[in-house]
Chain A
Amino acid sequence: MSRDLNDSPSSDLPPDVRPGSSRRHFLSRLAAISAGLTVAAPLSHSTTTAEGTALEGESPKQGTDGGLVEINFKVNGLPHKLEVDPRVTLLDAIRDRLDLTGTKKGCDRGACGACTIHINGRRVLSCLTLALMAQGEEITTIEGLAEGNELHPVQAAFIGCDGFQCGYCTPGQIMSAVGCINEGHTRSDTEIQEFMSGNLCRCGAYPNIVDAIKMAAGQMKRGG
């Protein structure tokens, strides 16, 4: 059925847990689409704004026939099914469709790191990833880092070391820091700075961010 892109995010929940709705199932369907009829995107223009929704003003009237594509992925352990315009970035899908607004839109051009998330455990930029490209993947956002009420060691260390001021870059900094630690790039302050250079902080909290990463890296090594 056709679905308006501006449906409230809750219309996508509860997540689709239909048996058989697997990655393979989806891929075979997409392959069928690819082989035969091609997915056409609607003609309207994107109206992305800094903090606004990319979807406003571009609701395709054609619904599924007008080019919406169905995608399935897991976010913070929960499976989701979405129908999206092929142009929708993973960042906009996460924020506007799943209502997970912890992931921030900064530059929207891959320059600032505010939108950093993990796909299959690797830190990437959600603003330069089409939602379509995340088909079948396991995504972790800042909301999925803590275990219940227990903060992830990196989150706790950012608080402990005062690793932020305004906080806007912080979710991206933390997601990137977790990646930096898991990759083993915390052997010196210089190495941390180099491997965190994709995350800009206009408040200039860098020294405290480096401290937080060192603290968390030590804890994660000890605690496993």
Chain B
Amino acid sequence: MQTFTYKIPFSIQQATADFGQNSDFLAGGTTLIDLMKLEVMTPSQLVDINRLPMRGIELASDGLRIGALEKMSDVAEHPEVVANYPVISQALLKSASAQLRNMASMGGNLLQRTRCGYFRDVSTPCNKRQPGSGCPAIDGWNRTHAILGTSSSCVATHPSDLAVALVALDASILLQSGNNDRLVKLDDFYRVPGETPDKENQLKPGELITEIRVPRLPWARRSAYRKIRDRESYEFALASVAVALDVDANNVRDARVAVGGVGTKPWNLPKVREALIGRPSNQQTFEAAAKLAAEGAKPLRHNAFKVELVQRTIVRALMNLGGLA
């Protein structure tokens, strides 16, 4: 690990002021300290934000607010989250391990870095880690990589399960820097790699995610997260889906669908949603809608199976949610 200096601010204003060149914010540390040990991330200064007032889990009339420093485990087991947004709780509980969920913050989860083996190995090129150096994954080992949103520069997946659930629910995040704040839709926050895979999101230097806001959606009580992986627990997704289903007299009144493990960002599927709305809640409808999920997919040598897998995962999740399986 390379050397760094260490600061502990007690206000958001101070945190912004402390954030200098080549600084990183430290919250739970589960991504950052790992990547600092690998020297994938080499900040010369850490600004420890754990004492900032960015906490609380609160269900109000306009929706759910979660302080960015809340731990994954606390949010996953919060009674209001479990009851009103099961997809969030399930996405969190299917992430990492119990210990990591006790450490990792909600804001940090949304900013975690890709698990691409080339990104994590400093002896190999990687456009995300070292812009312009190349992408060995495109012609190399790419079984776990993305089929959606890829470019000739990068095919790495976004690893967060939480982000998939939040994008499906049309959540926003509050970004703060000094005394300024702005609310950004999480779906807009993330970028596809294009020619600049090192720029993963809209976050500006010194800016913090301080809060997550999920709109009120009463029918999200019927929502779920389904995750397919190489082992049943403690593993990243090969394909995952966040679904919410509003069924009235056997017809789909509304739906939300987003997928993970297949995209370079959490992949929202508005076309799948449209193909569900107004149709009978049955396997035929779900299969027809799921076909649209892989539209524009660019499978690589080892991950073509994801095209079929992501569709089946969507169908299975909808069948379960619709009480049909």
- Residues of A whose CB lies within 8 Å of any CB of B are 27, 30-31, 34, 38-46, 48, 67, 69, 86-87, 89, 108-110, 113, 116, 122-125, 128-130, 132-133, 176, 179-180, 183, 185, 193-199
Closest Cβ of chain A: how far from B37's Cβ, in Å? 7
Given contacts A38-B45, A109-B34, 16 further A-B contacts (CB under 8 A): A27-B8, A40-B3, A41-B5, A69-B6, A86-B4, A89-B33, A125-B99, A128-B30, A128-B100, A133-B48, A196-B98, A197-B97, A197-B98, A197-B233, A198-B98, A199-B97
A159 and B96 alpha carbons, distance in the complex (Å): 28
Per-residue CB proximity of B216-234 to A under 8 Å, as 1/0? 0000000000000000011
The answer to whether the Cβ of B131 comes within 8 Å of any Cβ in the partner chain is no
Per-residue CB proximity of B1-29 to A under 8 Å, as 1/0? 11111111110001000100000001001
Given A86-B4, A87-B1, A133-B48, residue A123 in contact with residue B99 (CB < 8 A)? yes
Task: Say whether B6 contacts A86, CB under 8 Å.
Answer: yes
21 A-B Cβ contacts within 8 A?
A30-B8, A31-B8, A34-B7, A41-B6, A44-B3, A45-B2, A48-B37, A69-B6, A86-B4, A87-B3, A109-B34, A110-B30, A122-B102, A124-B99, A125-B103, A128-B34, A129-B103, A133-B29, A176-B99, A196-B98, A197-B233
- A39 / chain B contacts, CB cutoff of 8 Å: 5-7
Among the listed B26, B33, B98, B103, which residue makes an inter-chain contact with A179, where contact means beta carbons less than 8 Å apart? B98
Among the listed B37, B48, B99, B102, which residue makes an inter-chain contact with A108, where contact means beta carbons less than 8 Å apart? B37
Task: Say whether B98 contacts A123, CB under 8 Å.
Answer: yes
Given A38-B45, A130-B29, residue A110 in contact with residue B34 (CB < 8 A)? yes
Task: Say whether A46 contacts B103, CB under 8 Å.
Answer: no
A110 and B7 alpha carbons, distance in the complex (Å): 24
Q: 10 tightest CB-CB pairs across the interface, nearest first?
A: A198-B97, A41-B3, A197-B233, A197-B234, A34-B7, A38-B5, A122-B102, A87-B1, A86-B6, A46-B1
The answer to whether the Cβ of B196 comes within 8 Å of any Cβ in the partner chain is no
Closest Cβ of chain B: how far from A99's Cβ, in Å? 23
A110 and B233 alpha carbons, distance in the complex (Å): 15
- B1 / chain A contacts, CB cutoff of 8 Å: 46, 87
CB-based A-B contact count at 8 angstroms: 103
- B4 / chain A contacts, CB cutoff of 8 Å: 41, 86-87
Per-residue CB proximity of B45-67 to A under 8 Å, as 1/0? 11010110000000000000000
Task: Say whether B3 contacts A180, CB under 8 Å.
Answer: no
A35: nearest residue on chain B (CB-CB)? B14
Given A34-B18, A46-B1, A130-B33, residue A123 in contact with residue B102 (CB < 8 A)? yes
Task: Say whether A110 contacts B5, CB under 8 Å.
Answer: no
- Residues of B whose CB lies within 8 Å of any CB of A are 1-10, 14, 18, 26, 29-30, 33-34, 37-38, 45-46, 48, 50-51, 96-100, 102-103, 233-234
- A108 / chain B contacts, CB cutoff of 8 Å: 37
A27: nearest residue on chain B (CB-CB)? B8
A31 and B50 alpha carbons, distance in the complex (Å): 13
Task: Say whether B100 contacts A110, CB under 8 Å.
Answer: yes
A38 and B44 alpha carbons, distance in the complex (Å): 11
Closest Cβ of chain B: how far from A178's Cβ, in Å? 12
B101: nearest residue on chain A (CB-CB)? A198
Closest Cβ of chain A: how far from B18's Cβ, in Å? 7
Closest Cβ of chain A: how far from B71's Cβ, in Å? 8
- B33 / chain A contacts, CB cutoff of 8 Å: 89, 128-130
- A31 / chain B contacts, CB cutoff of 8 Å: 8, 10
Residue from A122, A133, A180 having most chain B Cβ neighbours under 10 A = A133
Among the listed A89, A125, A198, which residue makes an inter-chain contact with B234, where contact means beta carbons less than 8 Å apart? A198
A123 and B101 alpha carbons, distance in the complex (Å): 10
Task: Say whether B5 contacts A125, CB under 8 Å.
Answer: no
A37: nearest residue on chain B (CB-CB)? B5
A196 and B234 alpha carbons, distance in the complex (Å): 10
- A129 / chain B contacts, CB cutoff of 8 Å: 29, 33, 103
Task: Say whether B3 contacts A43, CB under 8 Å.
Answer: yes
Closest Cβ of chain B: how far from A181's Cβ, in Å? 12
- B37 / chain A contacts, CB cutoff of 8 Å: 48, 108-109
Closest Cβ of chain B: how far from A119's Cβ, in Å? 8
Task: Say whether A34 contacts B99, CB under 8 Å.
Answer: no
Closest Cβ of chain A: how far from B224's Cβ, in Å? 16
Closest Cβ of chain A: how far from B297's Cβ, in Å? 30
A63 and B4 alpha carbons, distance in the complex (Å): 16
Among the listed A41, A43, A113, A185, which residue makes an inter-chain contact with B97, where contact means beta carbons less than 8 Å apart? A113
Closest Cβ of chain A: how far from B195's Cβ, in Å? 31
Closest Cβ of chain B: how far from A26's Cβ, in Å? 10
- A89 / chain B contacts, CB cutoff of 8 Å: 33
Task: Say whether B98 contacts A176, CB under 8 Å.
Answer: yes
Given A87-B4, A124-B103, residue A34 in contact with residue B98 (CB < 8 A)? no
